[in-house]
Structures are given as C-alpha cells and as structure tokens.
Chain A
Amino acid sequence: MTDQVSTTRRDLLRLRLGLLGLTVVVLAMSVWSFAATQSVLGTVRDRTAPAVMDVAAARSALMQAHSAAVGSFVYQGATLVGPGEEYTADLAVAEQDLARAAGDNAGGSTGSGELQLIAGLLTTYSGWMSQAGTHFRDGTPALYLTDLWYAARSLYGSEQTLAHLDDLADLQRQELDQQLSGGWLNPWTVLAWAVPSAALCFLLWFTQHYLWRKFGRRFNLALLGASALLVLVIAATASQFLLAGRAQAASAALTSYVTSTNQQSDAVSADAQHRLILFVRTTCNPTGCGATLPDTPPAEQLTLPPTTTTASAITAGFADATDLSWLLVLIPVLALGVAGLSLIGLQPRIDEYRYRP
C-alpha cells in the first residue's frame, strides 16, 4: 500500500513537471516562431518590398527623363532649355528613387556595389546630356548628336545603366523571395512549435485520463480549461500562416506591378530610341553613321500596357501581413493560463498525498 501511495504521488509530481516543462517549451517556441515571422514580414514591408518598387520606379523615371530629353532635341526646344525641365525633374526623381533603394537595400554588399555603380553611370549619362545641350547651343550638330548618342549608349549599352538596374532588381527580388520562403517562413519550421504543442496536448489528455483512472473523476475542469487555452495558443501561433499567405499575395501583386511598370517604361524607352535613331540618321549622312548605330530603329509602341495594380495597394498588402502583432502579447498570456490551470488541476490531488507515508 505504501509503495502504491508513493508511486501515485511521484506520478502526479512527474505529470506536473511534464505539463509545466512542456508549456514552457510551447511558450518559447510559439513566441519565437511568431516573433521571427513578424520580424521577417516587417523587414519585407519596410525594406525589401519598397526597395523592389524603388528600383522599378527609378527605371521608369529614367526612361521618362530620357524620352523628354530626346524630345527636347528632336523638336529643337533644346535651343532654350537644353534637355529640358521635364528631363531634369524626372532624372531627379530617378535619383531619389535610387537613394531610397540604397536606404532600403536588401541586396547586401552586391546590391550596394550595384547602387554605387548605377550612381556613377547616371552621372555619366547626365554629363553627356548636359554636354549635348552645350553643343546644341554652340551649333555643332556632329558633337551634340554624338553626345546624345553617347548618353543613350550609357543607358542601353552592354553592362551599362539599364543592365545594372535590371541586375539590381533581380538581386532585390531574390532577397524578397528568399525572405518569404526561407527562415521561419519555411513550412517545415512549423515543427518547431507544433511538435511540443502536440506533446502538451497529449500530456493533458493523458493526465485527464490518469486522474479519471486513479481518482474516478471523469473530467478535471481546470485541465479542460488548460486544453482549451492550448488550442487557442496553437490557433494564435498558426495565424502566421495566414500572415505569410497575405505576404505571398502581396508579393504576387508586386511582381505584377513591377512587370507592368517595366513594360510601360520599355514602351517609353522604345519610343525614345526610335525617335533618337531616326534623328541621328537623318543628320549623319549615309557614310557618316558608323558601324554601331542601328540601320532601323526599334518599333514604336504606341499603346502603353495597362497597369494591373498600384504601389499603394501593394504597400497595404504587405502592411496587412503584419497587422496581428498583438498576438505576440496574447500567446504568452494564453500559455501562462495553460500553466496556471494545469497547476490548479493537479495541485489538490498532490496535496492529498502530501502527508501520506
């Protein structure tokens, strides 16, 4: 009889220790997982996604600037204003976009290197444009056409501005995809908190069953309450799937936005190159156009592709993916409730055996 009594007390103490221990593990892993997911999604919302949009916006503004400058020379407005006010404003916008992309840079040291290189290439581009304005006013057509052509080449040439902008955009995009699929957003990481939660679930059921078997009480209300709170902890932690899903949806919208923005800037670019090449060709005589200037300009794209979404909608989408941050407070509260109710459920039975030999 003595042996049986001490075994029951020992079992009860072990169950209490197991329940409390597993609750601590569940609490730690759930909070860690949720906080890490929130942190990643916050980085995506505040830095990575804006960086992707900044690079697309810079590309677009740069094409607009180039188109405006070409127009100023083709239609002879350059006599008074050189490449023109619109060119200056759009180029400034492109530079500001790139400065923001540098602030949000998610491409690491490679991204920083690309941004430095692009800044240098833009200086080259604006230098040739400015020189074209000077030569235009000086009345030296061979030279202002050359400058204008060099400016275009510094945009479109192999390993020049557009190529590096595209490389930078790829880097930022890869980082975004990595953030949304790796680390705590990797589906396998669910095991880190789901396994201890399942174990705690099982231990709560086992304890309930043990008490029924030993003491003949079918339900222990406190342990039932602890089980209910554990379900809430699991639901709250699992809401990160919902948030990750929202982030994935916003990412898909971002892809669509960047694609349509690039298509629009490509259309503007093709139009500008078309006008520029025709302009240069009509001015350089048949023996004077050299081996690089294309014989036929790229086709004009008269209608711009439609925009599928807006930058603000994408920003709102990424913000939605982090709007459950209050759960980070609720999860520990619920876990503490699980621990407290487990103690309340077991303590009276332990006390019953306190003074038995």
Chain B
Amino acid sequence: MKLPKILLAAALIVGLLTGCATRATLTVLGPWSDAEEQSFRAVFADFEAEHDVTIDYIGTPAVNQVLQADVQKGQPPDVAVLTSPGELARYASAGGLRKIAGVSESEYSQQWRTLLRLGTPDLYAVPVKADLKSIVWYNAHHAPSPIPSKWQGLLDYTAKVKTAWCLGMEAYSTSGWPGTDWIEDILLHEAGPATYASWASGNLPWKSDAVRAAWTTWGQLLAAQGPPGLRTAALLTYFGDAGKQMFAKQPGCYLEHQGSFATGSYPKDAAYDFFPFPTIGAVPESSEVSVNLAGQFTDNPLAADFMAYLAGARAQAVWPARQDSSAFSVNQQVLAASVYKGPVRTRIAQVLAKAQHLCLDASDVMPAAMADAFSRAVLEFLGDPNRLPDILSGLDNVRTGLAGQAKLTEPCG
C-alpha cells in the first residue's frame, strides 16, 4: 500500500519538475526599455499565459547592432522589433527573415499590406506601433488663424509670428534627425510619393533638382524664422525640449513639426492640436510615417504564433489603450474599436490606418551610414546654409559608396 503512494508522489514531483523545466521560451529583441518596455510586456502578457510560454525580452537602444552580432554568431532571437524597416528589408533579402503566415491581412489597409511586404511578394513584418510624422503641432490656446493649408500660408505665418517654430536638432548620437524629417516631408509634399520613394531607396541623387529644392525650401522657412542665431539655438536644443516652449506662460514658439509621439513630452495638462503638413506642389495628399516592425528570425513554431498574435487587433489595442499612451496602431479594427481617447488621437489614428498614400520615414529606409550622413548634413546646413552644394555632393558620395547594399525598394504604399 505504501509503495504505490510513494511511486505516485515521486511521479508527481518528477512531473512538476519536468513541467517547470520544459516551459517553452521565446526570445524577443526590441528597442524599448523602462516604461516603454512595460507597455510592450503588457502587449505580450496574454500570449505568454495562453501558450504557457515565457518571453525572454531583451530591450536595448542599440537593437540593430545587437541583432547584427546575434545573426553573425548564428544565434538570432526568435523575433526582433526594429525601428528601421530598411534594416529589416536587408535581412529579408539576405534570407534571414521568415515569411509570416496566419495574419489577417484584412485588418490592415492596402497601403500597409504593401509596406509590410518590405518590397517582396510575401509578408515579412508585423507593425507593433506607428507614428504619423507629417503633422504640425500647436498650442490649442494659441492656434494659428487661419490654419495654414498651403506652404505659402506657413511661410507667411513664420514671417509674421516671432518666433514661429520650435526647433530642436539635438538627439544625442542621432542629432540632426528632426531636420531630416523636415527635408523628407518637404520633398514628399513638393515632389510627390514617386520621387520620394526613388530618393529614399537610393535611386535619385541628392543633387537632383527635386532633392535640392527640398533643402532650399526648408532654407526659405528658416530664413523667414529669423536671424541666424535661431539656427544656432535649434542646433543647441534637445528635440524633446523644443515643443515644451509652446506651453509656457509666454510661449517661446508656436508651431512644432514633430511626429505623433511628441505629445509624450508635452506637459500633462497641455491643450494641443495639430494640422497636416501643407502641400507644396501639385502632388497627391500623402503622409510620412515611422513604424516599429517585428520580424521572425527562426523557424520556432511559437515565433510564428507570436507574430500572428502581435498582428491581431487584441494585441494591437493594448499599447494605445494604456494610461497616457502616445502609441498608435495601424490595425483598422483597433481604430473601429474606439480605443483612442479624444479627437486628436483619433484623427491621427485615422490617418495612420486609412490614408491613401503613406511613405515610410526615408531615414528609416536608408542604410544606417546614409541615414547618419543625412543627419550630419542637416547640422552642417543649419550651421551654414550656403554650403548646400558641398553638403549634397558629400551625401551623394556616401550614396555611391553604398550602391551595392540591398535596399527597401517600396518605401511608399
């Protein structure tokens, strides 16, 4: 009588121990730490519970470098979330990415379905969250009147109101990128998505008329902004500090060209609103976006399940619905589910999920060396706009040196 009991107890203990030991693990690499990491962990918490799996999430700002080192060692994570779709496209073209199945494509607009294919016939990426870039923020208590809908209107406002623009180019190792967003938006709204796509994918030279015009157009706005000292101020200002001046008792500036994430750095009680970046030429209305894309790097079946879970409306709604979240999903069902609080967030989400023309942030599409040179070029241009010919020549030299690298060929959808 005793022996069967002992055997049963032993079997239970062994079962428990082996059960614990064999709980599956999925490694996920991403760019988020601290509060953002907590938000991302909330996104995958249900998946862990439902699949009895532990997700080993590693968050690092140097996500591209860490991924590259892991891939070179032959030990990639199961899933990696990157901020640069161009980098992901290079892994896809090198055969390092797995095709994704089981994603309900009807939840995403045709534009996003194109972008998520990374220039290939197959689906390779799932968006985790996205930001709309082609917008101009203002303090709702100091709204421009009328709201500029054309470039000339923006120039007139800039010349009339001192100081019109909140400009901050400092961003630690990536200083200059807020200026690259200006050039990208101007090019997109002046020359159109086709020219933008050609330039972003490295086919159109920097010295081409369209690209040169984008720089000079920005130069006109900077000249209208005020004396050269304001360019120095922009160089010395951290991008996260620039927009806060709109909400001071005596506003230091009135407009900020910044992505939808900017509200995260505004005061909690700030009343803000935005208007779309105005069109400049006779081109279709289009928007620049940035997106964090997840890619699957191993054949782990759980990784495939995880990608399908990440793409679904339930996971997509978690981050945007969190308290004080400035995150957006491009999943149309999330938009329909009224997850977003307030009209401002809803309008941004509508553009992200349903816009007719969307283009990825060109800096996120270019090879890292090109994007870095682009950011440095912005700093040089602000230091001395008269050096533009030399700056564009330098950028073309970098582009020529990177001609052999695989590129994302369809940055617009």
Contacts and interface: CB of A to CB of B under 8 A. Distances in A.
B238 A292 contact: yes
A277 B273 CA distance: 35
Interface in A35-56: none
Contact of A117 (B61, B226, B230): B61
Interface string A275-291: 00000100011011111
A291 B227 contact: no
Contact of A292 (B60, B170, B228): B170
Interface core residue of B65, B237, B383 (most chain A CB under 10 Å): B383
A140 interface: yes
A140 B383 contact: yes
Contacts of A145: 232, 236
B380 A292 contact: no
B283 interface: no
A124 B171 CA distance: 12
B13 interface: no
B354 to A, nearest CB: 35
A292 to B, nearest CB: 4
Interface stretch (B90-98, B216-224, B240-248, B291-299): B240-248
Interface residues of B, number: 34
Interface residues of A, number: 29
A150 interface: yes
Contact of A142 (B60, B65, B235): B235
A291 B172 contact: no
B22 interface: no
A289 B172 contact: no
Contacts of A153: 170, 172, 238
A120 B245 CA distance: 32
B171 to A, nearest CB: 9
A132 B242 CA distance: 23
Contacts of A157: 172, 238
A260 interface: no
Given A116-B62, A284-B229, A284-B233, A291 B244 contact: yes
Contacts of A120: 62, 65, 173
Contacts of A255: none
B230 A287 contact: yes
Contacts, number: 98
A160 interface: yes
B257 interface: no
B234 interface: yes
Contacts of B379: 143, 146
Contact of A291 (B229, B235, B242): B242
Nearest to B174: A124
A159 B62 CA distance: 13
A154 interface: yes
A124 B172 contact: yes
Interface string B167-180: 01010110100000
Interface in B26-81: 58, 60-62, 65-66
A160 B61 CA distance: 11
A87 interface: no
A154 B172 contact: yes
Interface in B378-413: 379-380, 382-384
B294 to A, nearest CB: 20
Given A116-B66, A140-B384, A149 B236 contact: yes
Contact of B234 (A113, A143, A159, A290): A290
B170 A149 contact: yes
A293 interface: yes
B231 interface: yes
B61 A290 contact: no
B374 to A, nearest CB: 16
B23 to A, nearest CB: 20
Contacts of A284: 229, 232-233, 236
B252 interface: yes
A108 to B, nearest CB: 13
Contacts of B235: 142-143, 146, 290
Given A154-B173, A287-B229, A293 B380 contact: no
B326 to A, nearest CB: 17
A289 B236 contact: yes
A121 B233 contact: no
Interface string B149-170: 0000000000000000000101
B329 to A, nearest CB: 26
Contacts of B175: 150
B362 to A, nearest CB: 22
Given A117-B61, A150-B170, A153-B170, A290 B66 contact: no
A124 B233 CA distance: 22
A290 B383 contact: no
Given A284-B233, A289-B233, A146 B241 contact: no
A292 B229 contact: no
B241 A292 contact: yes
A157 to B, nearest CB: 6
Nearest to A280: B236
Given A140-B383, A146-B379, A146-B383, A287 B233 contact: yes
Contact of B232 (A121, A135, A159, A288): A288
26 contacts: A113-B60, A117-B60, A117-B61, A117-B62, A124-B172, A140-B383, A142-B235, A146-B236, A149-B170, A150-B175, A153-B170, A157-B238, A159-B61, A280-B236, A284-B233, A285-B232, A287-B226, A287-B230, A288-B233, A289-B233, A290-B168, A290-B235, A291-B244, A291-B252, A292-B238, A293-B236
In the A-B complex, the 3 residue pairs with the closest CB atoms: A288-B229, A290-B237, A290-B233
Interface of A: 113, 116-117, 120-121, 124, 135, 140, 142-143, 145-146, 149-150, 153-154, 157, 159-160, 280, 284-285, 287-293
Given A153-B172, A157-B238, 9 more contacts: A113-B58, A121-B173, A135-B383, A143-B379, A149-B170, A154-B172, A154-B173, A292-B170, A292-B241
